[in-house]
Amino acid sequence: MKRIALVIGVVSALLALPAQRAAAADEWTETRSTHFTIWSNAGDGQTRDLLWQLEQIRFAVKTLWPWTLELTKPMLVLGVKDEESMRMLAPRYWEQKGGVRPVSVWVTGLDQHYMVIRADLRTEDNAVSNPYRSAYFAYVNLILSSSFGRELPLWFSRGLAGVQSNTIVRGNQILLGPPIASHLERLQSDARLKLKELITVTRSSREYTQEQGQIRFDAQAWALVHFLMFGQNAARRKSISTFASLLDKGTDPEAAFVEAFGAVEKLEPDFAAYINRSIYSFQQFDIDKATKREQFTTRKIFPAQAAAGLASFHVAMGRSAEARTLIDKARKEEPNSPDAYAAEAQLLLRDSKSAEAAAAFMKAADLGSTNARVYYRAARSMWSSPRTEETTLQKMDKYLVRATELDATYPEAFAELGDVRSALKQSPDDVIPLLGKAVKLDPFDPWIRLTVARAFWRLGKYEEARNVARVALALSGDDDRAKADAERLLATIPEKK
C-alpha cells in the first residue's frame, strides 16, 4: 500500500469584505502539530482546538485501520471563522438562490488538495452528528483511494468513508460510527439494492448516476460497512482488513468479498435485518492523550503570503477573477513575492498558457520560494526536444535538489532528479538510489514509473527500463494518457543494448 505525506494549512477570510482587503486586514498565524500545519485568523484558541480535532480524527482512522497511510500530495485546509468568511472563500454557494450553505468545502488543485472548514462550530455534548461530516468524508475517502494501487469498489470506499465521517471527539473520548439520521431515513423510505447488486455498483452504473442515485447509494454503502463493522458484536470487523489486503494484492473485488465475508447470499438476511433495526452500535475509545494543544507551535503569516495562498485556492475553485485580484494584492505588499509568482503560474496553467506558467514557476524558484512543488514544476518545464543542453540540465538539477530538501517525501522530485542526472550521464550509483526512493515513496503512480523507466533507458539499462514501463502500464488503470505513454515507451526502448 502507498505511503503519503500530509501537510495541512488553514486560511480564513474577513467578514463580507472584498477578497483583497480581507487578505490584508486579517492577522494570520501558522500553527503546527506533528501531522498538520494550520494557517488561521480565527484566534489562537479556536485554531488549536481545530488542529487538535484533526489530529484526533487522524488517530481514530489509524487506530481502526492501521493499513491506511499518509498522503503524498499536500493538503491545504482553509479554516474560516464564520459563515461570512466561508462565503468569501466559496462564493458560488451563495450565488445560487436557495443553495446549500456549507460548513466545509473540498477541492483539488494542481499540486495539493484544499479543505475549507468553519472553525467556529461546536458539537453539543449530547450530539451524535458531526457538523464536519462532509469534510471528514472527503479526507477519509482520499486516504483510502491513495492507499491502494487500484480503484476501490465503490461500496467500500464510500461506505467506509461514510462511517468514519461521523467521528465525534467529546472530552476524552472518540465516538466512531454513530448512526447517521439522514441515511437511516433514506433506508426506511427508499427501495434498496440487493447485496449482490450493491457490491457491483460502479461510478458509471445507473444506480449511481440517476437522479438521487448517489444519495441512495451512499446510504446503502454506509449501512453495509456499518453492518460489517458493528453487526453481530463486530464479528466481521477484522474481515474488513482481510478484504483490504486482498484488494491490495490484486484479487478481484467480488472474489475478495466472498473470501473475506462469505457467500453474498448468506449475508443477505442478516444485512436486511440490520438495516431494519431501531438501535445501532458504534465504537468509543480514548483520545490520543500524547497530543496536547500546548505542544503546537505558532508563527505569524505576512499579508503577501496570505494573499497568494488564497489566490491559489481560488484558482483551484475556478475563480480566476478573485485569484488575479489577490495575486495583485500580494505583489503590492511584496513586489518580488515568490508565492505570488507561484499562484500566478497555477492561474496561467489553468488558462492553458504553459510557456508563461513555466516562466512564472522559474521566477518563483529564483526568488527563493519555500514550496517544493515550485522547483519541481520549474525543472519539468525546462526539458526541450530533441535534446536538453547540459547547462539547462545542471540548472534543473539545482532546482530538483532544492525540491527534495524542502520535502523529503516528494516522490516526483526524486524521480525527476534521477532522470536529469541520467541525462547528465552521471554514474548509475548516483542515479539508481534516487529512482528507488521515488518508487518506495509512491509505488502506485504510473507517471513516476514512466520517469524511472526513461532514466534506466538513458543509463543503458534497457531490460530494467522495459520492466518498469510494464509496471507503469499495469498501474495506468483508466488513465488513458499514462497508458498511451507506457505503450509508446515500451515500443521505443530497444530490446538489447
| Angle 186-99-144 from CA coordinates, rounded to 5° | 55
Query: What average pLDDT does the segment 423-440 reach?
Result: 96
Is there a domain that residue 390 lies in? yes
Q: Look up residue 306 and give its three cell numbers.
A: 496570505
Write down which residue in 368, 400, 427 finishes a domain.
368
- Is-cis flag, bond preceding 269, omega within 30? no
> How many other CB atoms are there within 10 angstroms of residue 243's CB atom?
22
Cα–Cα distance, 28 to 299 (Å, whole number): 9
CA nearest 416: which of 386, 387, 458, 444?
458
Cα–Cα distance, 458 to 377 (Å, whole number): 22
Q: How many domains does the chain have?
A: 4
pLDDT for the residue 341: 98
Is there a domain that residue 79 lies in? yes
pLDDT one-digit tens code per residue, 154-165? 999 999 999 999
Write down which residue in 273, 301, 329 finishes a domain.
301
Cα–Cα distance, 393 to 379 (Å, whole number): 9
Residues 4, 63 within the same domain: yes
Q: Percent of the chain scored above 70 by pLDDT? A: 94
pLDDT one-digit tens code per residue, 234-259? 999 999 999 999 998 889 999 999 99
Residues whose CB is less than 8 angstroms from the CB of residue 319 and which lie 6 or more positions away in sequence, other chains included: 91, 92
Residues 333, 267 within the same domain: no
pLDDT over threshold 50, residue 24: no
Question: Are the C-beta atoms of 411 and 441 separated by less than 8 Å?
Answer: yes
Cα–Cα distance, 122 to 58 (Å, whole number): 19
Is there a domain that residue 109 lies in? yes
Residues 362, 376 within the same domain: no
Is there a domain that residue 159 lies in? no
Cα–Cα distance, 246 to 252 (Å, whole number): 8
Residues 225, 296 within the same domain: no
pLDDT for the residue 123: 64
pLDDT for the residue 365: 98
pLDDT over threshold 90, residue 385: no
Is there a domain that residue 73 lies in? yes
Is there a domain that residue 409 lies in? yes
Q: Which long-range contacts (CB under 8 A, 24 or more apart) does 229-235 make?
A: 229/163, 229/177, 229/283, 230/177, 230/280, 230/281, 230/282, 230/283, 231/270, 231/271, 231/274, 232/270, 234/281
Question: Tell me, what CATH number does 378's domain have?
Answer: 1.25.40.10
CA nearest 243: which of 226, 225, 230, 231?
225
Give the domain range for residue 329.
318-368
Residues 208, 238 within the same domain: yes
Residues 125, 140 within the same domain: yes
Residues 140, 185 within the same domain: no
Phi, psi angles (nearest 5°) of residue 487? -65, -40
Please report which residue ranges of 147-212 form alpha helices under DSSP H.
154-165, 181-189, 195-198, 206-209
Residue type, 153: P
3-state helix, strand, coil in the chain (%, to 5): 60, 10, 35
Residues 336, 383 within the same domain: no
Cα–Cα distance, 28 to 34 (Å, whole number): 20
pLDDT for the residue 163: 96
Residues 88, 188 within the same domain: no
Is there a domain that residue 346 lies in? yes
Query: What average pLDDT does the segment 296-308 reach?
Result: 93
Query: What average pLDDT does the segment 399-407 reach?
Result: 98
Q: Name the DSSP class of 27.
A: P
Q: Look up residue 369 and give its three cell numbers.
A: 520560494
pLDDT one-digit tens code per residue, 316-359? 999 999 999 999 999 999 999 999 999 999 999 999 999 999 99
pLDDT band at 11 (very low <50, low <70, confident <90, very high): very low
pLDDT over threshold 60, residue 57: yes
pLDDT over threshold 50, residue 216: yes
pLDDT band at 23 (very low <50, low <70, confident <90, very high): very low
CA nearest 60: which of 130, 119, 107?
130
> What is the residue-averaged pLDDT of the chain?
89
Question: Are the C-beta atoms of 87 and 162 separated by less than 8 Å?
Answer: no
pLDDT over threshold 50, residue 4: no
Residues 400, 356 within the same domain: no
pLDDT band at 73 (very low <50, low <70, confident <90, very high): confident
Q: Which long-range contacts (CB under 8 A, 24 or more apart) does 347-354 make?
A: 347/311, 347/315, 347/320, 347/323, 349/110, 350/110, 350/315, 350/318, 350/320, 351/320, 354/381
114-118, 131-135, 263-267 — most confident range = 263-267
pLDDT for the residue 251: 93
pLDDT over threshold 90, residue 21: no
Q: Look up residue 333 and give its three cell numbers.
A: 505588499
Residues 271, 378 within the same domain: no
Write down which residue in 253, 281, 309 finishes a domain.
281
Cα–Cα distance, 470 to 464 (Å, whole number): 10
Residue type, 435: L
366 vs 126, 129, 310, CA distance in Å? 54, 48, 22
Cα–Cα distance, 411 to 406 (Å, whole number): 12
CA nearest 372: which of 388, 361, 360?
361
Cα–Cα distance, 298 to 308 (Å, whole number): 20
Residues 352, 456 within the same domain: no
Please report which residue ranges of 235-337 form alpha helices under DSSP H.
237-248, 253-261, 264-275, 303-316, 320-333
Question: Are the C-beta atoms of 31 and 97 separated by less than 8 Å?
Answer: no
Q: Look up residue 41 and give its three cell numbers.
A: 485568523
Is there a domain that residue 163 lies in? no
Q: Name the DSSP class of 152.
A: P
